[in-house]
Structure 1
Amino acid sequence: MSDEPSENISGGPTGGGQIAAFEAADPSSATRAEVVIDRLGDLYWRKAYGGQGGFECLVRTILSQNTSDKASQPAHDALMARFDSSDLAESLAAADREELVEAIRSAGLYNQKSKLIIGVAEEVLADFGSEADFDRYVREADPAEVRNRLLEMKGVGPKTADCVLLFAGGRGGVFPVDTHVHRISRRLGIAPADADHETVRDYLERDVPAEKCGFGHTAMIQFGREYCTARKPACLEDPEACPMYDVCERVGVNPEMGEVVDPAETVADD
């Protein structure tokens, strides 16, 4: 918990963006996944996503890989301050790598990430002509095409591609899966216990309405930080400590015994 921000990651009304307008579904007819997202909507500010620059979002997401927001945000801020933000792709493609390393050091894995960032900058300019054209492509091209093209870039995995589609493209129906979403979806029982990240994404994007996916992603992350942590979920202390207790199957969690295992281990034990 100490490595993550305490505030709602959606930012609240003063954090920018617009509120996501959606109605809670009738629980008798909704999927369990939608019921979960609706419940999270009672806990967190519902932000609509989109509007970020595609290339800057791509860089920001690379910086966030394998580290916390607390570490990656200062690296992003330092990068934006040191390089020309008016044409970031041009600036980073021509960057001195040691200078870039120094700027992003707080994000960890800085040697690897500096190479990846310069590489995607060069690729964006070579294939799209300019940062502005790349940003337009992310916003306007077919989402499946954009996702596949992003996945062709070195260092861009499914979560990074989906974050660009969501935060820059504002695409409905995109539900990026990070470690929190992967863990919680399986604990709740809205994805198979042994599902990998891509399978969890398939289940969530199938069962959560498109307009609720972006909010669901950030809200589930926040829920994982505040309540359903990897080793000490709130229900171990007291069922009433978790606002999702009544809609959770607690796969891999045994409050009576005080035990927590990865949900996939429950499948192996069957």
Structure 2
Amino acid sequence: MSDDPEPAENISGGSADGGYADTFDADAPATRAEAVVDRLGDRYWQKSYGGRDAFECLVRTILSQNTSDVASQPAHDALMDRYGGREVRSTSNSASGERSEPRAEGDLAEALASADQPELAETISSAGLYNQKSERIIAIADRIVAEYGGEDAFDAFVREDDSGTVRDTLLDMTGVGPKTADCVLLFAGGRDGVFPVDTHVHRIARRIGLAPPDADHETVREHLERDVPGEKCGFGHTAMIQFGREYCSARKPDCLDDPEACPMADLCDQIGVDPTSGDVTDPAEAGVADD
């Protein structure tokens, strides 16, 4: 949507990932995690997600694995130009979740299932690990065509089936991990209570003290989904990523130079960050925060 406050280059969200601007109650948060998400929403955006085509979302998230948006976005665009076969990928721009534009003929899953692997690898080369990713994409596309008949039936499965069943099915696909599965559930399925954990979310949740310092990605996810209301998990994920890019980087968070420079200063335990010495370590190496 044209007035979407989220930058379109954010592969985890933005206008390309559907959804619509929304407003959520930020009064009297029940947990510190909710207070953090509320403040992030005030600073960046509050949105409800859903509306992406599930298979394209799955492919796009695979392309984003172990690389940056700058590298994976051109790979996604090149893949869609060569194999998409649809004039305009429709999105959901209203609370109803109805598609705003009809899709042209063609099936991306069928096209990729029959793709020549070296050609696909060349097409997505900017994303890195292109041989591995192309093999995985072709194998997943082949499975979706075999089991669902194509991307439309798979899309319906992701939107309508039990979320636990959808997540387990996605995790059973080679190359699909928890973050990828959760992104599909959120951006395509529009599911509440799904908080995908990427490297930014993993770092920030432990650094602030919203999860144990030694928590793995799945444990961080469990804590956030427990402590953040379901309807706020989606924008909590994308806004936390933006916060990590702008303020809370891995090696030099803004609080090192000025404790007041961080908008989360009063909510953060600074686990692994020592402004006095300038040392920054992984939270797992810095001690245990209150849960």
TM-score band by shorter chain is over 0.9
**Which whole-Å deviations, capped at 9, do the CAs of 1:10-69 have from their partners, x for residues lacking one?**
547x99631122110314xx1010000001011102222100011000000000000001
Q: How does 1:1-270 map to 2 (within 5 A)?
A: 7=7, 9=10, 10-11=13-14, 17-27=19-29, 30-83=30-83, 84-85=85-86, 86-267=106-287
Following superposition, the deviation at residue 203 of structure 1 comes to 0.2
Structure 1 segments of 4+ aligned residues over 2 angstroms from their partners: 6-12, 14-17
Following superposition, the deviation at residue 257 of structure 1 comes to 1.4
Q: Gaps spanning 5+ residues in structure 2: where?
A: 1-5, 87-105
Following superposition, the deviation at residue 153 of structure 1 comes to 0.3
Contact 1:54 1:138 in 2 (8 A): yes
CA distance in 2 between counterparts of 1:152 and 1:15 reads 24
Contact 2:18 2:52 in 1 (8 A): no
**Letter in structure 2 aligned against 1:51:** G
Q: Gaps spanning 5+ residues in structure 1: where?
A: 1-5
Contact 2:17 2:50 in 1 (8 A): no
Contact 1:20 1:215 in 2 (8 A): no
CA distance in 1 between counterparts of 2:275 and 2:79 reads 45
CA distance in 1 between counterparts of 2:257 and 2:7 reads 23
Q: State, as a whole percentage, how many aligned pairs show the same letter.
A: 68
CA distance in 1 between counterparts of 2:52 and 2:75 reads 18
| More displaced 10-residue stretch of structure 1: 40-49 or 214-223 | 40-49
Following superposition, the deviation at residue 113 of structure 1 comes to 0.2
CA distance in 2 between counterparts of 1:194 and 1:16 reads 34
Contact 1:25 1:35 in 2 (8 A): no
Contact 1:25 1:34 in 2 (8 A): no
Secondary structure at the residue paired with 1:23?
coil
Contact 1:92 1:117 in 2 (8 A): yes
Contact 2:18 2:51 in 1 (8 A): no
**Letter in structure 1 aligned against 2:220:** V
Relative to structure 1, is the Cα distance of residues 16 and 90 closer, same or farther in structure 2, using a 3 angstrom cutoff?
Answer: closer
**Letter in structure 2 aligned against 1:56:** E
Q: Matched residue pairs, number? A: 260
Contact 2:17 2:52 in 1 (8 A): no
